[in-house]
Structure 1
């Protein structure tokens, strides 16, 4: 892995993790599904415009179209939709921790469903990850965390794990930025239907809302997704996914810094154990690959 790939991975992990804090700010002043649909609509149009200026086209292969639609549905509509709704009731740090378990779920599904064998380090990582999640969830539930919000975060991360399986297909064949823009519009379309059916337009216009919306649209929404596809194309999905072990650290640190969310020793211990489990699983898969 070269220095450029390392910087890309660090940048992606930071941007991806920061989305939970900016989302928490947005849902404090605007209906979550409406805000998310508008975010994806804006991100999608910007991405497509830049891609067209760079000479990219929407002439995608059949497998690229399929992966783009699946990714737009599962990551943008389901994963982020459930998380935006959940963050009306749960803290950004908890949402980030739940979402960061995605690599563990992917590895667990590979072992349980597809009969993929792991090295001992991988099995130890899975066990450590489950222990870390148990520590944090046990502590948060005893403190009265909203169970519906926690359930929504869980549904979202399952959708994200499924979406991850389509990344390799979507990132092959070029037109990466065009694919990013198109999948944003897929998510925007589905979320707009849900927003019209379930929400009313009730917005508290504040400077924080404007800044958080702009940041979420441009940085986690567009730039992070594009960097992720470039990283996967550069070093492969398995090695790229290793950077997810940083997400629990970045997620809780950014939420504590900008939202003042408190952390207990149980949270810190759980985050360290989960991060170690993710790293162990990805190192095991990388060696195997």
Structure 2
């Protein structure tokens, strides 16, 4: 793995993990689904405009349209929508920890439902990773962690797991920024209906809300997605997914630094166990190096 790929992976992990903290700031002053739908609308229009400036085409391959629609609904609308709703009641660090189990859930679902074979190190990684989550959540439930918020985050992670498995083997075909922009627009359309039906558009305008919204729209929303697509094209999905093992660390650290969320010894131990589990699962999939 070259230095540029390493930098891209670290940047992606940091930007992706920071979204939970900025989302927590947003939902404190604005309705979650309206906020997310507007964020996707702005990100999508910017993404499509940049794609056209880069000379990218509207003519996507069939697999790209499939990726655009599935990810627009499952990742942007379901995964992020449920997480935004949940963070009205739970801390950003808890949401980040649950979301960080995605590589573990994908590996487990692939084994249970798609016939994937797991090496012993991968099985050990799955057990360790989910054990770390149970350790952290057990301690936090004792401190009053909201079970409804946790359930919504788990459902969100399941939705993204389904999308990830459904898109295995889809080809890239170029037009990366166009795909990024269009899937944002799909997410915006999918969320505006539930927002109109279930939310009241009541916003408390604060400098923190405005800055958090702009940051979420441009950095985790647009930049992180683009970096992820480019990283996967550069080093492949399996090696790229290894950087997900940093998400629990970054997610908890950013929430503690910017929101003052508590960070106990059990949290630190649990995060370390989750990171080790994710890394073990991902490394077990890596192809052997040529001799």
TM-score between both structures, scaled by the size of structure 2: 0.97
**Structure 2 partner of 1:183:** 183
Query: Could you tell me how far apart the structure 2 residues matched to 1:259 and 1:134 are?
Result: 23
Unaligned runs of 5+ in 2: none
Query: Could you tell me how far apart the structure 1 residues matched to 2:268 and 2:23 are?
Result: 22
Query: Could you tell me how far apart the structure 2 residues matched to 1:99 and 1:286 are?
Result: 22
Deviation at 1:287, TM superposition (A): 3.6
Q: Any conservation in 2 of the 1:82–1:152 contact (CA below 8 Å)?
A: yes
Deviation at 1:141, TM superposition (A): 1.3
**Structure 2 partner of 1:4:** 4
Q: Does 1:198 align with 2:198?
A: yes
Query: Could you tell me how far apart the structure 2 residues matched to 1:261 and 1:109 are?
Result: 32
**Structure 2 partner of 1:142:** 142
Query: Could you tell me how far apart the structure 1 residues matched to 2:81 and 2:188 are?
Result: 10
Deviation at 1:265, TM superposition (A): 1.1
**Structure 2 partner of 1:222:** 222
Deviation at 1:25, TM superposition (A): 0.3
Deviation at 1:140, TM superposition (A): 1.2
**Structure 1 partner of 2:114:** 114
**Structure 1 partner of 2:69:** 69
Query: Could you tell me how far apart the structure 2 residues matched to 1:166 and 1:254 are?
Result: 31
Instruction: For residue 30 of structure 1, give the secondary structure of its aligned residue in structure 2.
Output: coil
Query: Could you tell me how far apart the structure 1 residues matched to 2:245 and 2:265 are?
Result: 19
1:144-190, Cα deviation, whole Å (9 max, x unpaired): 21111000000001111122235665661000000000000000001
Q: Any conservation in 2 of the 1:24–1:87 contact (CA below 8 Å)?
A: yes
- Pairwise mapping of residues 93-104 of structure 1 onto structure 2 (< 5 A)? 93-104=93-104
**Structure 2 partner of 1:161:** 161
Q: Any conservation in 1 of the 2:86–2:152 contact (CA below 8 Å)?
A: yes
Query: Could you tell me how far apart the structure 1 residues matched to 2:116 and 2:37 are?
Result: 37
RMSD of aligned Cα (Å): 1.3
**Structure 1 partner of 2:283:** 283
Unaligned runs of 5+ in 1: none
Instruction: For residue 118 of structure 2, give the secondary structure of its aligned residue in structure 1.
Output: coil
Worse-matched range after superposition: 160-169 or 77-86: 160-169
Count of matched residue positions in the alignment of Structure 1 and Structure 2: 289
TM-score between both structures, scaled by the size of structure 1: 0.97
